[in-house]
Amino acid sequence: MTRRLKLSAKRQALVVEYMGLAEVLAKYFLQNRPHWQRGVLIADLQSEGYLAICKAARTYDPKRLPYPKAYFARACLNAMYKQIKKINRQPGDIRITLDEAADLLPDFDHLDHIRLAIADLPEWDQELATDRFIHGKTLRALAESHEISLRAAARRSTQLAKALAESLDIRLLPPGVEQLCPSDRSTP
């Protein structure tokens, strides 16, 4: 028969009180990592922190340790540190030099798809599209260099952006609208 480990109401209150430490400390550990790693690792570190806080609540003695926040923070930090070390562990068997790794990389054709799409445009639009999308000129600079009004430069730039997006199979979104990944959409 297995023994169920339950926390008393007092210890559960301690866990609930210091649950926010797990989120704060997880962000602390990930603040200097690339954005894609933050998104992937934050949930793992927070769960490690929650478990550490639950374990620390079992062993916390207010008579011996008068500062519970420091105790729970240290337990949380230690658990997250162990998790980070475990995640970053390198396999010991296979080690290659940087030159060998460079040889293993596949060769890609570096096509400039924007230039190819601009080349498919009519001749009178190619120069404006090149200035706008390759050289990065502002609408004001486009209007001055092509001797057209600012409004005409804006309209032609928008039309060219739509034409290039269509030829490159890119979906344009209006400003301020975030694109959702297919996995983010909820299905009824």
Q: State both tokens at 99.
A: 């030159």
The pLDDT, as a whole number, for residue 141 is: 92
Q: What is the dihedral of CA 26, 31, 33, 39, to 10 degrees?
A: 50
Residue 188, pLDDT > 50, answer no
What pLDDT score does 85 carry? 85
Over residues 33-38, the mean pLDDT reads 80
- What pLDDT score was predicted for residue 14? 86
Domains recognised in the chain with CATH numbers: 9-87 (1.10.1740.10), 113-167 (1.10.10)
Answer yes or no: is pLDDT of 63 > 90. no
Helix (H, G, I), strand (E, B) or coil at 43: helix
Q: Which residue carries 């230039």 as its tokens?
A: 115
What per-residue confidence (pLDDT) applies to 29? 83
pLDDT tens digits, one per residue of 8-33: 888 888 888 989 999 999 988 888 88
pLDDT at 1: 47
CA distance 22 to 51: 9
Over 80: is that where the pLDDT of 107 sits? no
- pTM recorded for the entire structure: 0.45
Average pLDDT over every residue of 131-159: 91
